[in-house]
Structure 1
Amino acid sequence: SGALSAARGTHPTATGGGRLLRAAGAEGRRGAESASGPSSARATPPRVPFSPWRGCPLPWGGFPSPPEVGAPFASPQGAVELWELDENETLIVNKFCKYEHDDIVMAVAVLASNNQAVSGGRDFSVKVWDLPQQSVLHSYRAHSGSVTCVASCPGKDTVFLSCAEDSRTLLWDTRCPKPATRIVCSACNHLPTSVMWHPQKSDIFALGDENGTVALVDTKNPDSALSSTVHARSITGFAFSTHSSPLLASISEDCSVAVLDSDLSEVFRNRSHRDFVKGLSWSPSDNALLTTVGWDHQVLHHTVPMPTGEASGVNCVKE
């Protein structure tokens, strides 16, 4: 299986597949191309811990399925790298390292085909990658600020989302002559910071902003978005569960973890982290188990009440 990574540090991200894909920034390009290695004057990257599904270690003892997908990484060094488990699944092997962005890569996501990925960076660009060919298929510059998050659409190979520090959220379809369409959601009128598609509804996605607002947005009617102020500070990530009616987990710079039902009503909250929460992942084998990681170097396992309202035994376990 594989893991997908989109963090601001040098750690892997976890999202499906048997390979790993990592992204880095312009300073890393200079370091990698120099025989003497990276400059000692390079700024020290933020202390980013392991973070499942978005820039972290491999959760649950390995890569989630499907096994043919790679895991993209995002870090301050300037390249996109593909990593893969060896035949014995004991080592992670670097398959390629490509410097296509001109600055730090902030986000990566594997597209529905499992053979392509999308990356976004501080160079304001969005790039679509052919993973088997180890090359860039498309390069776009539709944003006028750092691209902070990208999200693939389940079941649609050519469709994805991006949001950036230009305050814009874009819906992409690479089949179109003008592939980017702006989604304006009045419910989230602050800087967008995180997006994620609903796993069962290809027209619905979760949108988070710097004010802590979470919205469920219909791409066909964005003004009808359901929204709630869930956090006190910026949203840093989302993850939908695999329940028949998926729960939405959100993490934030307010150091808390929240889990919401389809009406955005809170069903679980944990404030055990002591610094920004930067990554999260639902267990592929237990749909009540959620793992989060933070800049406090903690990996926490949370047992979330089932949609029926029946709580499990343990609410939070530190690792």
Structure 2
Amino acid sequence: MSYGDGWHDVIEESPASRESGKPSIEQHLTFLHFAEDGKLLLGSCNFVDRTHTGSIWAFSQPDLPVTAENSIARHLCASPVSSGIFVGVNQVIVAEDTGIVVSYQLSEFENNVVHFVPQHYTQPHDSWVTSLSLCHGGSDVISGGADMRINVLEGKGSAVKTSYYPAHAELISCVAASPDNSSVFASCSMDRTTLLWDTRISRPAKAIVEGDCGYTAVAWKNENYLAIGSEMGMVHVYDVRSLESVHDLPLQKMPVHKLAFSNAGLLASCSDSTDIRLWRFESNKMLLPESQHSMFIRDLAWHPKSETLYSCGLDGNVFCYPFS
């Protein structure tokens, strides 16, 4: 559905903005994602006031302090934002806690002012959207939610192409599209399973692992290897060709929250803690970067050019870790 068809632009300013008279980033950062040219997309939420709100922010340089003054664009959302990704250099898709998915275009207007311009919206989920992932080739987006539903969204989020329900028996924690095949993706759930999907076949899902705990994060190294994080803090690396585990890593002491592979084969993980762990795939070596976060880390992303790792957390900070 196009923007404007029965859906109105958001709303009010955040409580902090109203008090100061200036726009401000909410206290809790929930996601970050890079465009191919290095622009940073940041999601922030306010979980402490009577009305929970969210906003999205774009930065031309991720190393600048995360302040409203340093952003190139901002947009207030009707509810907390749970996930957001670039689907083009100037196009993003953002998911909200209400189940809405909105696509925005970063457009420049007079006086070099940049705005998030809403393009399309859809409501593919009945509850919180937990995860978004861009398919290989960039035409479709996979979404997973707390409603046990997985959707393939076409037109970079403009409509539901295919829907799988129930895709799992409990909340879907994460979805991750294959980096080399537009028809293949993985999903994991608190129902203690991780599934491999191929949308070209009539029975598209098969189990990679059925364990004794919930699974919370998935990430591809390439089309052959998939890292799976669990609520027990373990990370299992599977060869999807044989569906066999090739590494079992006790990376975290708390439930794994996010996993992210670099192009050089470094696997970064964060959990429901302030700790980050790095593991080198080829040498099976662990690295322990010092985290400066004072509250839970909520997302990780590798810069597409410098291969620097960035993290954001509920303390409102973004930090970088120049590992290679």
TM-score band by shorter chain is 0.7 to 0.9
**Structure 1 length normalisation: TM-score?**
0.73
| AA matched with 1:167 | R
Hey, what does 1:148 align to over in structure 2? 173
User: Is 1:166 the equivalent of 2:191?
Assistant: yes
Hey, what does 1:316 align to over in structure 2? none
**Structure 2 length normalisation: TM-score?**
0.72
Question: In the superposition, relative to structure 1, how do residues 150 and 115 fare at CA in structure 2: closer, same or farther (>3 Å)?
Answer: same
User: How many Å apart are 1:90 and its aligned residue?
Assistant: 2.1
Using the alignment, how far apart are the partners of 2:31 and 2:216 within structure 1?
20
User: Is 1:110 the equivalent of 2:130?
Assistant: no
User: Is 1:278 the equivalent of 2:302?
Assistant: no
* Partners of 2:98 and 2:126 within 8 A in 1: no
* Partners of 1:159 and 1:174 within 8 A in 2: yes
Structure 2: state its 5+ residue gaps.
1-27, 44-48, 63-71, 73-83
Q: Secondary structure at the match of 2:289?
A: strand
Q: Secondary structure at the match of 1:286?
A: coil
Hey, what does 1:3 align to over in structure 2? none
Using the alignment, how far apart are the partners of 1:280 and 1:206 within structure 2?
15
Hey, what does 2:219 align to over in structure 1? 196
Hey, what does 1:77 align to over in structure 2? 98
Hey, what does 2:280 align to over in structure 1? 261
Hey, what does 2:233 align to over in structure 1? 212
From the two aligned structures, give the one with the greater strand fraction.
2
Could you report, residue by residue, the CA deviation over 1:274-308 in whole angstroms, capped at 9, with x for unpaired residues?
Answer: 22111111122212x2111111212111222x3xx
* Partners of 1:11 and 1:73 within 8 A in 2: no
| AA matched with 1:191 | G
Using the alignment, how far apart are the partners of 2:40 and 2:309 within structure 1?
22
* Partners of 1:49 and 1:294 within 8 A in 2: no
Could you report, residue by residue, the CA deviation over 1:45-99 in whole angstroms, capped at 9, with x for unpaired residues?
Answer: 7xx898xxxxx85574589987468433233122111111115682221111111
* Partners of 2:141 and 2:156 within 8 A in 1: no
Report runs of 4+ in structure 1 exceeding 3 Å deviation. Answer: 9-13, 15-23, 56-70
| AA matched with 2:268 | A
Aligned residue pairs: how many? 266
Hey, what does 1:6 align to over in structure 2? none
Hey, what does 2:125 align to over in structure 1? 101
User: Is 1:290 the equivalent of 2:314?
Assistant: no
Using the alignment, how far apart are the partners of 1:168 and 1:59 within structure 2?
39
Using the alignment, how far apart are the partners of 2:40 and 2:100 within structure 1?
13
Using the alignment, how far apart are the partners of 2:41 and 2:98 within structure 1?
13
Identity %: 26
Q: Secondary structure at the match of 1:166?
A: coil
User: How many Å apart are 1:271 and its aligned residue?
Assistant: 3.3
* Partners of 2:301 and 2:309 within 8 A in 1: yes
Question: In the superposition, relative to structure 1, how do residues 20 and 248 fare at CA in structure 2: closer, same or farther (>3 Å)?
Answer: closer
Q: Secondary structure at the match of 2:232?
A: coil
Using the alignment, how far apart are the partners of 2:187 and 2:240 within structure 1?
13
Using the alignment, how far apart are the partners of 1:249 and 1:239 within structure 2?
5
Using the alignment, how far apart are the partners of 2:220 and 2:149 within structure 1?
21
Using the alignment, how far apart are the partners of 2:232 and 2:87 within structure 1?
35
2:202 pairs with 155, 177, 190, which one?
177
Q: How well do the aligned residues superpose, as a CA RMSD in angstroms?
A: 3.4
Q: Secondary structure at the match of 1:171?
A: strand
